[in-house]
Structure 1
């Protein structure tokens, strides 16, 4: 892939992940605006349709960005015939950032899904407090953006 296309892919991934992060944080803000009653560690709250839609959009964008970075990154693997001590530093960085990208996706997407699903009910719910799932998922979208760029650059350089 030429340099211009590589820069475009990096910018696309960063924009998608940052948008997902902002949507996750906005979903948290919308969720906090609904009526809720809190007693120690128990909380009763009404669901927020706006928070549901924003959280769903953030989860979809994060998943789509992850699919794109894996497709253009080439699914690089250290399973070469060489030993791991003979692998280039770029290849090692690529594999480490790929693993960290998958971890950021797993944790961030699960946080977004948990926060989104708590707003998918037709009536209010009561239970233990579940704070900041959407905003933590949004912050992990920013981390995913950074790791995706590192993975893409190191995998194309190796």
Structure 2
């Protein structure tokens, strides 16, 4: 039964992160549909409500997937005395946890920057900001890989 639950959790994490990645890429496409005037490095553009909504949804799904992986993966950091003396499986779990946090922070930051640039009250001119949504969406897919690896190794360590 525990094995079936673990498979379900892994599939849920992958589904949430993949959906977030797809929404991030669709937000980039919606943003590119709006009118914009570009002169060298400077750009004036209209905000896209669709890109705003898709960006918020992508950021929320990424956060849910991250919280789910960390809560259900257990606290492998809490039981670690010294990471250098820990067995390789615990070291792998810690590495995946660190990469998961780094990727989530960067991906969430990019999705939030792209989302805030598309707020209704924000028709702006300035330096061009391209590909925040698409890079954030790609990082969602990478987050899925490390989150599943973390959950798998951490839950393996917690199993009796």
Q: TM-score, normalised by structure 1?
A: 0.95
State how far apart, in whole Å, the 2-side matches of 1:76 and 1:103 are.
17
Alignment match, 1:110: 109
- Check the 8 A contact 1:20/1:59 in 2, yes or no: yes
Summarize deviations over 1:86-129 as a string: whole Å, max 9, x none: 31111000000000000000000000000000000335210000
Task: Please give the residue correspondences for 1:2-41 in structure 2 after superposition, counting only pairs within 5 Å.
Answer: 2-41=2-41
Task: Classify 1:71/1:78 alpha carbon distance in 2 versus 1 (closer, same or farther; 3 Å).
Answer: closer
Question: Helix, strand or coil: the match of 2:126?
Answer: strand
Q: How many residues align?
A: 157
- Check the 8 A contact 1:35/1:46 in 2, yes or no: yes
Question: Helix, strand or coil: the match of 2:84?
Answer: helix
Q: Pairwise CA RMSD of aligned residues?
A: 1.3
Alignment match, 2:57: 57
Task: Please give the residue correspondences for 1:2-151 in structure 2 after superposition, counting only pairs within 5 Å.
Answer: 2-77=2-77, 80-81=80-81, 83-151=82-150
- Check the 8 A contact 2:27/2:133 in 1, yes or no: yes
Q: CA deviation at 1:61?
A: 0.3
State how far apart, in whole Å, the 2-side matches of 1:72 and 1:39 are.
49
State how far apart, in whole Å, the 1-side matches of 2:122 and 2:156 are.
52
Q: CA deviation at 1:157?
A: 1.6
Summarize deviations over 1:126-148 as a string: whole Å, max 9, x none: 00000000000000000000000
Q: TM-score, normalised by structure 2?
A: 0.94
